[in-house]
Amino acid sequence: MFIFVRMESGYEKYAFPDGKRYNSFVGYFKRKYGERLQKIVLDAGFTCPNRDGKVGRGGCTYCDNAAFHPSYSTAGKSLHQQMDEGIEFHKVRYRTTEHYLAYFQSFSNTYAPLDRLRALYCEALAHPQVVGIVIGTRPDCVDEQKLDFLADLSGGKILDGWSREMTDGQVRTSPIVIVEYGIESCNDITLNRINRGHDFETARRAVEMTASRGIDTGAHFILGLPGESRQMMLDSCALINGLPLRSVKFHQLQIVKGTRMEKEYEERPQDFERFSLEEYLDFFVDMLERLRPDLFIERFVGEVPPRFVNETPWGLIRNVELLRLLEKRLEERGSWQGRLL
C-alpha cells in the first residue's frame, strides 16, 4: 500500500509504509498477516537444467550455491531437521517470532516431477511452526500443471484439515505460497553470456502464468553483470515494471572465487561495471526512481561470506546499515520510488 500526497515543500511524493521513501518489504508480512514471519532457507536436493545437461552444463557463470545459504541448510539433512535448526538459528536475533516460511532456495526448486514437489512442499508445511512456503526457481522450470497445483495449495484445496493459529488470533486454513524467479537480467545477450539457459521472454511468460493464478510472484536481478552498462540496467526498469510482480530483489554482482566469472573478470575487467558503495547507493536511487511504486523492494544488496570472495571493497558493512544509508541518500536527493514515472 502507498499513498499519493502533496508535501509542504511543493513537490509530490509517495508516502510508503513505515515512513520510508520506497516500498520496503520489511514489515510486509506483519502488515498482511498480523505478525513477523521469518524465512528458513532449505536445501531439498534439487539441481538445475543448465547443470545436468538438459539445457547446459556448468551452471551460471557466477554461481557457487554454497555462498548463498546458511550453514544449517545442508543437503543430506531432512527438511524437518533443517527447519528445526533454522528456527533455533533465527531465535537468537528474532526472539518473538513464532511462525516461519519454508524457503526452498538452493538451485531450482520446481525442477522435479510434480509428485516429488508435492511430497517436499507438504513435508515442509507439516512443521507446526511453518505457515507457508517460498519457492525459488528458474522461469524454464514451471508449467501449467505445477502452477495449477501451487494455486490449489494456496487456495486450501490440497491439505485437508491444515490450519495455523496466528499471533493475532486469526486462523489460517491454507498456507502462504510465494514463487520467486531468478531472472537476473532483462537482456538476452547477457543471459546467454552468463550461461543462464533461458531468455527474457521465458521469464515474462512464467511470471504472467504464475501471477494470473493469484500466486504471489517475486523476481531476482543482478546489477553489474558483464557487458551491461549502467544505462542498460536503468533501461531494464521499464521491462521490470511491465511484469505482474509483487516483489523484487536486487543484488550487486559479487565475483565468487572458483567460478567461471572470476576467470572472465581477470581476463576482461573492462566488461564489468564495478561500484563503490557511494556509487551503488546513488545508482540504486536512480533505479528506484524508475520503478513503479507498488513493487515491494525485498532486497537491494547481497551479502556473500568473505571467505567466498577475493575482495570486500565495501568492507564488512551489514545489510541493516546499508538500508539506513539508502534511506539517507533518498532524503538527501529529495527522491522516492517511482519519482520519474
DSSP 218: E
In this prediction, residue 91 carries a pLDDT of 87
Assigned C-alpha cell, 246? 509483487
Q: What is the largest CA-CA distance in the chain?
A: 60
Q: Is 138 helix (H, G, I), strand (E, B) or coil?
A: coil
Q: Is 115 helix (H, G, I), strand (E, B) or coil?
A: helix
Distance CA 14, CA 7 (A): 10
Q: Which CATH architecture has domain 22-333?
A: Alpha-Beta Barrel (3.20)
Is the Cβ–Cβ distance between 236 and 185 less than 8 Å? yes
DSSP 51: T
| CA dist list (Å): 88 to 92, 93, 126 | 7, 10, 18
- Could you tell me whether strands 171-172 and 99-104 are parallel, antiparallel, or unpaired per DSSP bridges? unpaired
Residue listed under C-alpha cell 556473500? 304
Angle at 247 between CA 151 and CA 236, to 5 degrees: 120
In this prediction, residue 3 carries a pLDDT of 47
Instruction: Sketch the domain layout of the chain as residue ranges.
Output: 22-333
In this prediction, residue 68 carries a pLDDT of 60
pLDDT (tens, 9 = 90+) of the chain, 341 residues, equals 444 444 444 335 567 888 899 999 988 888 889 899 999 999 999 999 998 889 888 889 998 766 566 677 777 789 999 999 999 999 888 888 999 999 999 899 999 999 999 999 999 999 999 999 999 999 999 999 999 999 999 999 999 999 999 998 999 999 999 999 999 999 999 999 999 999 999 999 999 999 999 999 999 999 999 999 999 999 999 999 999 999 999 999 999 999 999 999 999 999 999 999 999 999 999 999 999 999 999 999 988 777 888 777 887 888 889 999 999 999 999 999 999 99
DSSP 278: H
Q: State whether the Cα torsion 304-127-160-111 is positive or negative.
A: positive
What is the rounded (10 degree) CA torsion for 187, 191, 193, 198? -140
Residue 65: burial class (beta carbons within 10 Å; 0-12, 13-18, 19+): middle
In this prediction, residue 66 carries a pLDDT of 64
Q: Is 248 helix (H, G, I), strand (E, B) or coil?
A: strand
